[in-house]
Amino acid sequence: MSRYSYKQGEDTLAKEDVLVAIDREAVEAARAADLPEAHLLLLVETFQALADQTRARILFALLQGPLCVRDLAILVGVSESGVSHQLRYLRDRRLVKPSRKGNIIYYTVDDHHVAALFKEADYHIDHVRRGLSDHPYP
């Protein structure tokens, strides 16, 4: 039997708290597939960016096409300053990108991955709300 200790910060569980894997091979496979810490951090930051209603509304609106700050403010019901702040947050995480047309800056989603994240979340919500079972990917 393999024993796995549990670390939280600097504290390690006492000897009597050592966890023994129920399925050692599954634990080892999951450990081998674990993401590098830097990659995991970026993944968490992406989901944190999506976990705000205002940012989610902005991104959903941008999935329909390019919009400027004022038009986004009208759509999401937040001040232009508030929208600008959220766009900077999203831009820093490469979820949106700006493009200038004359004096106006328009924003779009950074790439098709952002749209795919939203579509998958929407499919998940639809399945949960309607009580549908999961389906395999083609």
What CATH number is associated with residue 97?
1.10.10.10
Confidence (pTM): 0.76
> Does 47 lie in the same domain as 30?
no
Q: What is the pLDDT of residue 1?
A: 47
Residues 48 and 98 in one domain: yes
Residues 110 and 51 in one domain: yes
Domain match, 53 and 121 both: yes
- Amino acid in position 45: E
Mean pLDDT of 92-115: 95
Residue 104 shares a structural domain with residue 59: yes
Residue 60 has pLDDT above 90, yes or no: yes
Instruction: Tell me if 119 is assigned to some domain.
Output: yes
In this structure, the answer to whether residues 27 and 47 fall within a common structural domain is no
User: Are both 25 and 47 inside the same structural domain?
Assistant: no
- Residue range of the domain that includes 24: 3-34
pLDDT of 12 strictly over 70: no
Q: 114: Cβ–Cβ under 8 A, 6 or more apart, which residues?
A: 59, 63, 95, 96
Lowest average pLDDT, out of 4-18, 53-67, 111-125, goes to 4-18
Examine the domain organization and report whether 116 and 53 are in the same domain: yes
**Do 49 and 24 belong to one domain?**
no
pLDDT band at 19 (very low <50, low <70, confident <90, very high): confident
The DSSP output letter for 101 is E
Q: What is the DSSP letter of 8?
A: E
Residue 94 lies in a domain: yes
pLDDT band, very low/low/confident/very high, at 90 (cuts 50, 70, 90) = very high
Between 51 and 137, residue with greater pLDDT: 51
Which tops the pLDDT comparison, 9 or 20? 20
Retrieve residue 54's tokens: 């205002």
Q: Which residue has the tokens 């930051």?
A: 45
User: Is the four-CA dihedral 137, 121, 40, 88 of positive or negative sign?
Assistant: positive
Please tell me whether residues 118 and 84 are part of one structural domain.
Answer: yes
Q: Are residues 74 and 22 in the same domain?
A: no
Mean pLDDT of the chain: 87
| Tally of domains in the chain | 2
Q: Tell me the pLDDT band of 16, cut-offs 50, 70 and 90.
A: low
pLDDT of residue 118: 85
136 lies in some domain: no
List the structure tokens of 102. Answer: 């004359």
Whether 23 and 48 share a structural domain? no
Distance of alpha carbon 63 from alpha carbon 79, whole angstroms:
20
